[in-house]
Structure 1
């Protein structure tokens, strides 16, 4: 390939020159490039004949750049870096690793890890940008179906034919939020059967799937006792207000207390409830390399948090 100007310098000559200019040692240069040492020497001599002046000063113990060699190296390095960046961008485009990735979340615990995962993702894929936004529980799949987000982390279960559920990425023990003066607040733990003795505050929204509501806000205990349902506000933060006012109780994950602690609400762990599980989901027709790479970055961050890093 002859693409280096009037001297018709071969690209491999430039590569050998830059490697030797860095190593200043013929044997190390030959090992680095996978070429015979004699081939390296012949290539440099050919390049010097093309340019018309020596580029290196050589002795049996010493290799050094001449003034012309130093100038050539300084001029070529930016061009080489630009070429490598162009190739990297082309490869990234071929893998779909460019552009904006919009990520949704529905929990502050998830948001914290998402921000860290976004930093990891950007470091690995500098031609990609990440935009993170909250998805409200009253319309859990509206943004992803309308294209406002490309992938999201949300509370499971999800059973929607047009959405693909990715790996489980986070699992948190479940607690019951109760008014501070409620009898349950004095207990070390509660059970699912105890819900028959309270009014359950849920969330409302026409777009909330019934199977999701039944999982998180059941109408009967495992033993078959009826669970009374009370107010069903639109926003989850309104649930906290109603619990604090003594209008009922409501389940949440234990970690949520760190974000929503308040004096009028007590958080009592369940001793028999399944954990709150979070997983990735994306449109079935929308999986791409960017989504897979971001999921990997998120899972690495979760492992780092679990390990205490």
Structure 2
């Protein structure tokens, strides 16, 4: 059997309607009918029973359908693999993330991606905030989902993946913990604990500013290297620190309260990859994530 015959038969076996079958296949209804008749002549028995009102499978047709479904799936996998190899979607794709919310999205997308491109493996790994772009610039990560802003001449800022309301982590006994919300101006009344390391100055100032929008100075405590260190210092009463709302689901603890900002911009996350690394694997994975986000 030729591939177009398999497609015509299986589509009609599913639709049991010649017009809908022709619409799905993009063929004239007469062409579908001719293909099925030719197939029945070759086999020697009818595959469908046709009346003016309905189309049904014969016993032979039902058996042929069961036998051909795995064949069609194998053919499609072979075609997909050939297309992937032709586009260079092979090897190992290393994808980084700097927040657990992004990790969930990436792991789900990796499963879909592997099914589409079985010759390309996806490895998901965490990227520490204190070395935000180091793994990518060192070639250990091909692309990653990172908190905005990103303004680096050697990096490409890709599509946005998600956006989260911004909150303030405060010690459980802090006066802010009793409030329904806080303002960015309130940061001038406390000590801010920031992440240190090789993050760009504009990125650090955006998330851990030294002045409020009205120009009031914000005191900074000793910087922390790791995110868990930030939370530990907040829990010990050494200061406050901003975070995304969804982070509480992963890092909730009794000595830290999460208070919403009422006037701070959201925390936005987007894809980033090296300007020299926007290859077919990267583009295909980004497209997969965007498709899943659009469907959710």
Q: Structure 2 length as normaliser, TM-score?
A: 0.78
Give 1:119 deviation, angstroms. 1.9
Q: Could you say which structure has the larger radius of gyration?
A: 1
Give 1:292 deviation, angstroms. 2.1
* 1:140 maps to which of 115, 132, 150: 132
Give 1:110 deviation, angstroms. 1.0
Does the CA-based 8 Å contact 2:137-2:274 persist in structure 1? Answer: yes
Does the CA-based 8 Å contact 2:177-2:257 persist in structure 1? Answer: yes
Q: Quick one: structure 1 residues 269 and 126, their matched pair in 2 at CA, closer, same or farther if it must change by over 3 Å?
A: same
Does the CA-based 8 Å contact 2:8-2:32 persist in structure 1? Answer: no
1:109 equivalent to 2:101? Answer: yes
Give 1:129 deviation, angstroms. 1.8
Q: How does 1:78-227 map to 2 (within 5 A)?
A: 85-205=77-197, 207-227=198-218
Q: Quick one: structure 1 residues 255 and 14, their matched pair in 2 at CA, closer, same or farther if it must change by over 3 Å?
A: closer
Would you say how many aligned residue pairs link Structure 1 and Structure 2?
Answer: 274
Q: How does 1:15-34 map to 2 (within 5 A)?
A: none
**1:232 alignment partner, SS class:** coil
Q: Quick one: structure 1 residues 103 and 249, their matched pair in 2 at CA, closer, same or farther if it must change by over 3 Å?
A: same
Which deviates more from structure 2 when the two are superposed, residues 214-223 or residues 290-299? 290-299
Does the CA-based 8 Å contact 1:157-1:212 persist in structure 2? Answer: yes
C-alpha distance in 2, partners of 1:152/1:77?
38
Q: Quick one: structure 1 residues 296 and 38, their matched pair in 2 at CA, closer, same or farther if it must change by over 3 Å?
A: closer
Q: Structure 1 length as normaliser, TM-score?
A: 0.75
Gaps of 5+ in 1: 1-12, 49-54
Which deviates more from structure 2 when the two are superposed, residues 264-273 or residues 95-104? 95-104
Q: Quick one: structure 1 residues 80 and 185, their matched pair in 2 at CA, closer, same or farther if it must change by over 3 Å?
A: closer
Does the CA-based 8 Å contact 2:234-2:240 persist in structure 1? Answer: yes
1:233 equivalent to 2:221? Answer: no
**1:138 alignment partner, SS class:** helix
* 1:301 maps to which of 288, 292, 296: 292
Q: Quick one: structure 1 residues 94 and 230, their matched pair in 2 at CA, closer, same or farther if it must change by over 3 Å?
A: same
**1:262 aligned residue:** 253
Question: Cα deviations across residues 189-241 of structure 1 (Å, max 9, x unaligned)?
Answer: 11111111111000111x21111001000000111111011021110110000
